[in-house]
Amino acid sequence: MSTNAQSPKAVVEVGAADLQGPGVVFCPNPKQALWSNHPRVYIDVATTGEGKCPYCGTVYKLKDGEHVHAH
């Protein structure tokens, strides 16, 4: 029996308008059913186009064609 048998993690597509501050999103977010299961973490999406939550494994991905504008 494997301890790595986990259900596939969610992929959340975000637009540039969804990003906070320097191009980050936070997890968990209020749209998630279990939004209070782990501490809030900020995930950099602007640098590579996607980022993964170290707690729950949710992947946040910048939508195709979206561009993050630098200040």
> For the segment 46-67, what is each residue's pLDDT rounded down to a tens digit?
999 999 999 989 999 999 888 7
Find the domain containing 40 and state its range: 11-62
Does residue 5 belong to any structural domain of this protein?
A: no
Question: What's the mean pLDDT in 29-44?
Answer: 80
pLDDT at 35: 57
Per the structure, the count of domains in the chain is 1
Does residue 69 belong to any structural domain of this protein?
A: no
Euclidean distance between CA atoms 39 and 67, whole angstroms: 28
Does residue 36 belong to any structural domain of this protein?
A: yes
- Least confident range from 3-12, 32-41, 58-67: namely 3-12
Q: What's the sign of the alpha-carbon dihedral 28, 33, 36, 38?
A: negative
Q: Which residue has the higher pLDDT, 18 or 29?
A: 18
